[in-house]
Amino acid sequence: MKTWTGILLMIILAVATISTTSSARTMNESQKQLNIDDQSSQTSAVVASNIETMNETTFTTKEATSVKEEYISVAPENENVRLYPMKVEGSGYIYNGMVLEVDGKTQEFSDWKGEGGSYKPEVHELDLNGDGQKEIVVLYTEGHGTGIYLGQARIINPITLEEMKMQSLDEIVKQHVESKVTVGSDRVDVDVAVDGVQAEPSRIEGDTSGGLYNKELGFGGVTYYSVEDGQLVVSAAGSYGAALYAGDLTFAYVYQDGEWKAANLKYSMEVYEEEYYESFD
């Protein structure tokens, strides 16, 4: 009787041991699978995160390259002279600061602010004064609108990449131009003298009531800078009233006494039609 009882107890213990071992193995396998699943999920998350980061980096790099390539200006005289914006705003139409690059050397000009698009800045390399050393000339548009065109020019030393001193338009007008605007009931008379030489007077007929007129010609509202025949040439319209222009003061810059000054000044009188100043929009 004792023998059978012992055998029965041994069988019960063996079954319990097998059941426990099986359960433990099942739990271990489940835990292993769980760990594998967790690791797989974490790996996927890391990969996804890397892809997102990589996409952002690629986009940023591509964007920077695109901006630099799209808005870059190259001197027609030397492909190693280039100009591009420090920052582009307003859907590419505003250059907030500019970078001048000459033979790989760069210089930032944060105060240069101009327009892009169809008014994209120009850069040139040429000997303006015939001394055998070429200067860098930068032309850009500060703004434009009805009756307004604000051109701008800079002359840069190609060795130091520093901006050279230029006589301002206001200084030039004050030094070289005398004018008088006389307003009658049915006409406006404009008289101009450049360096003491009287230009042909202008007589503009029409009703002047309600108009706003200057006592003398104003300059700066419409100013064009261009490179012509190896010179930096300026054309500034003379205004006798609000968006009303009577003629152009033209001159070229020459280097004298360590400064670029106006030379060969001329004033040409002509009556501008309404379509002229509306064309600046």
Q: Which of 194, 196, 264 is nearest to 233 (CA)?
A: 264
Distances (CA, A) of 280 to 92, 148, 225, 235, 275: 19, 6, 15, 15, 9
Q: Which of 75, 95, 70, 74 is nearest to 85 (CA)?
A: 95
pTM: 0.72
Percent of the chain with pLDDT over 70: 72
> What is the tens place of the pLDDT at every residue in 36-84?
343 333 333 333 333 233 232 222 333 434 446 778 999 999 999 999 9
Give 117's DSSP letter: G
Q: Is 96 exposed, middle or buried (0-12, 13-18, 19+ CB in 10 A)?
A: middle
> What is the tens place of the pLDDT at every residue in 187-198?
999 999 999 999
Residue 92: per-residue pLDDT? 72
Q: Distance between alpha carbon 226 and the CA centroid of its chain, in Å? A: 19
- Mean pLDDT calculated for residue range 97-125: 95
How far apart are the C-alpha atoms of 72 and 101, rounded to whole Å?
Answer: 10
pLDDT band per the 50, 70, 90 thresholds, residue 28 = very low
